[in-house]
Amino acid sequence: MAAHIQPAGVADAGIAGETAGPPPARRQRKLGSGIEIVLLALFAVVMLFPVLWMLETALKETKDIYATPAKVITGWTPTLDHLKDVFSSDSPVFKGFKNSVIVASASTIVATVLGVPAAWAYSRFKIPGKKDQLFFILSTRFMPPVVVVIPIFLMFRDLNLLDTLQGLILVYAAFNLPFTIWMMKGFIDDVPAEYEEAAMLDGFSRFEAFWRVTMPLLIPGIAATAVFALIFSWNEFVFSIFLITDPDTRTAPSAIAGLIGGTTIDWGLVAASAMVFAIPVLLFAFLVRKHLVAGVTLGAVRR
């Protein structure tokens, strides 16, 4: 019987040819990843188009804004006139920005100062009817603001809080407080109570143990909660439009909405005001981005 012996080089080449190239599953995965990237890119373009159009309108001259056909990429000269109008001394929008900074900052601070100790108490102590109380606290956020704006308006009228920044601060703090308590309770639950107990054995009081041991660990959670509370107070429109009628005490959302109306609309000023209005929250979120990411992911992995 004759035996056929294949040369070693040919055999190795055959084996290499069998193993060369990615498996079909990997090819399908690469194809799926490419399709996902294309779809995400299209989605990002659709979502960012209004923002890019707003930025472009804010930088266009008035004649270029109303040009037909529209000048999208070329054919127009950038200008900062609309931004200068936003920050002019007689601009109602600039007054609204200052009022929004005061109201959003104060309401966020009040909600955080009151919400963190309340969340700590609900997390650490045995309180009768704790679940029912927490559900009642959360239920205050179930209804949209437009449902309760009329009763609040009547109460503020009797308390002489209409057209005052103090009234808006109280309302925003009241609406942010349930959210703050629930978010912070989840963060505090993830901090072992044994840390505080060990500090109390060393001679600290209950509050000192919380302040010196637990509080530093809650900074990421507090930052994340403060960002969300600030965004709500900064963007809120219903209460500011119903409870404030004086142009000097209007917040930025209602002041910008007041620019739209009448026979002519300065779309350049509207776009510039909206662009400036979006910058503070983005800047604040950027500054606390590390704490924000840490706070959002805190508790994702259980010990």
54-81 pLDDT, tens digit each: 888 888 888 888 777 777 777 788 888 8
pLDDT-derived band at 6 (thresholds 50, 70, 90) equals low
Asked if 118 and 207 sit in the same domain, the reply is yes
pLDDT-derived band at 28 (thresholds 50, 70, 90) equals low
Question: What sections of the chain are H helices per DSSP?
Answer: 8-19, 24-59, 62-65, 81-86, 92-124, 130-139, 145-159, 165-189, 194-201, 206-209, 215-217, 219-235, 238-243, 252-257, 267-287, 289-297
Q: Which of 104-118, 151-165, 190-204, 274-288 has the lowest mean pLDDT?
A: 274-288
Is 1 inside a domain boundary?
no
Last-in-domain residue among 33, 51, 79: 79
Is 10 inside a domain boundary?
no
Asked if 69 and 108 sit in the same domain, the reply is no
Token digits of residue 234: 């900064």
Asked if 242 and 172 sit in the same domain, the reply is yes
Asked if 57 and 151 sit in the same domain, the reply is no
Last-in-domain residue among 59, 79, 99: 79
pTM for the full predicted model: 0.76
Phi and psi at 250, nearest 5°, equal -70, 150
Is 209 inside a domain boundary?
yes
Find the angle CA(249)-CA(93)-CA(259) to the nearest 5 degrees: 105
Asked if 171 and 244 sit in the same domain, the reply is yes
Determine the pLDDT at residue 1.
Answer: 45
pLDDT-derived band at 301 (thresholds 50, 70, 90) equals very low
Asked if 103 and 150 sit in the same domain, the reply is yes
- Is pLDDT above 90 for 114? yes
| Contact by Cβ (8 Å): 118, 269 | no
Q: Whole domain around residue 36: which residue ranges?
A: 23-79
- Is pLDDT above 50 for 133? yes
Is 258 inside a domain boundary?
yes
Token digits of residue 44: 């990002």
Last-in-domain residue among 57, 79, 101: 79
Domain count, the chain: 2
Q: What CATH code is carried by the domain that includes residue 195?
A: 1.10.3720.10
Instruction: Collect all residues with Cβ–Cβ distance below 8 Å to 227 and sequence separation of at least 6.
Output: 284, 285, 288, 292
Determine the pLDDT at residue 173.
Answer: 93
Average pLDDT, integer, range 34-52: 87
Handedness of CA 113, 118, 123, 124 (dihedral sign): positive
- CA atoms of 11 and 217, how far apart (whole Å): 63
Residue type, 269: L
Determine the pLDDT at residue 58.
Answer: 86
Is 14 inside a domain boundary?
no
CA 301 to centroid of chain Cα atoms? 23
Is 7 inside a domain boundary?
no
Is 15 inside a domain boundary?
no
